[in-house]
Amino acid sequence: MKRKVCVVITARPSYARIKTALAAIREHPELELQLVLAASALLERYGSVVDVIEKDGFRVDRRVHMILEGENLVTSAKSTGLGLVELATVFDDLKPDMVVTIADRFETLATAVCASYMNIPLVHIQGGEVTGSIDDKVRHAITKLSDLHLVASPSAAERLARMGEEPERTIVTGCPSVDIARACVEDGHEAPDAFAFGGVGAQFDLSNGFLVVMQHPVTTEYQAAYRQVRQTLEAIDRLDRPTLWFWPNVDAGSDGTSKCIRAYRELHALEHVHFFKNLPPEAFLRLLKKSLCIVGNSSVAIRECAYLGVPAVNIGTRQNGRDRGPNVIDVEHETKAIESAITTQCEHGPYTSSEIYGDGRAGRRIADALSAASLSIDKRLTI
């Protein structure tokens, strides 16, 4: 009988971080994929990731609506509680042999708590890393709830060992999003027409290079989100380079980030900036590969862009502590500093590829690890 593996995807970036593993699980002769979509992955204003997932040929077994309006600390906490309630029903219905949760978002904590209390073995993807904000607390809490750790790097595995996790329950697989980056490099396909994916704003020539901006609010600094993104907007406006700007995640403070973007657009022409909610992972990474620089505080600048060699300007504290390749310059939320760093990175050009987050073969390793793991009498997974 096949082992039922229930993967819970809760947000736009989580899909890219698990896509190749989903395909490998689905194709594995000893595994059965169960796919649950929840939270902002179902919301149109955050790119409706569910549509992309279904177009990629994956069957969605259950949908969990759990996001409360407000994008603040109270609604984040309440949404986590609502997710816990709803996921309990889903897991009771699907009866998986194990549950897979990804990274460090508040919604993933609901997945982890629910699986643990229902005595379902929990597998954590991308544990053992260090970043800024509340993400560290959430990620490490999930670590302590998890039975099997599939981590992106040797340093993450070492960190889990220092946290007291048993080495036999940790496997270094690499990050599945790097699998997509590797494929984008190897297939030789040109970057797609960005404007074919919709979005709003002016359309312009991208053939001479362009910037990509992804800036999310910092949960522990959510009240400063409006001011922080204003500094980035001013830098991008002054540079006057073609720019593809992607909407923020559903974190506390994202309402402030969105309000500032909308207010700035009302007062400034921004004829060189086009805004998007979401792109399919392959299309997004092919565009990134062709870009001059990525700007903001998204982990994609640290992970995928390290492999792709794309210059990155990381702003603020959101990625504090995360392992970096040589492609990253760190700056504060200050217009002139951001502008200067972008100019430096554009002049530098592509960096040498770094495999700090994997070699692009994580998906198959994850599926094989899930198949090989043994289920003990107390329902804990081990290698």
Q: Is residue 57 helix, strand or coil?
A: coil
Whether residue 35 is found in the same domain as residue 84: yes
299 and 319, same domain (yes or no): yes
**pLDDT score recorded for residue 69:** 83
Q: Which pTM value belongs to this model? A: 0.90
Residue 220 is predicted with a pLDDT of 86
Give the pLDDT confidence score for residue 321 in this predicted structure: 86
Same domain flag for 97 and 221: no
Q: Is residue 342 part of a domain?
A: yes
Report pLDDT digits (tens) over 173-227.
999 999 999 999 998 788 899 999 999 999 999 999 999 999 999 988 989 999 9
Q: Do both 343 and 367 map to the same domain? A: no
Q: Which domain holds residue 74?
A: 3-175+358-382
Residues 131 and 164 in one domain: yes
Assigned domain for 353 exists: no
Q: Same domain, yes or no, for 45 and 132?
A: yes
Residues 89 and 219 in one domain: no
The CATH number for 108's domain is: 3.40.50.2000
For residues 319 and 229, membership in a common domain is answered with yes
Both 241 and 304 in a single domain?
yes
pLDDT at 383 (0 to 100): 55
Strand partners, 37: 9, 63
Give DSSP secondary structure letters for 80-109: HHHHHHHHHHHHHHH--SEEEEETT-HHHH
Which ranges in 240-359 belong to alpha helices (H)? 254-267, 281-290, 304-308, 335-348
Regarding whether 151 and 300 lie in a shared domain, the answer is: no
Q: How many domains does the chain have?
A: 2
Residues of the chain with pLDDT under 70: 132-133, 375-383
Give tens-digit pLDDT for 234-253.
999 999 999 999 998 877 78
Cα angle 122, 103, 365 (rounded to 5 degrees) comes to 70
Q: List alpha helices for 118-253, DSSP H.
A: 135-145, 154-162, 176-186, 225-239
**Same domain membership, residue 299 and residue 170:** no
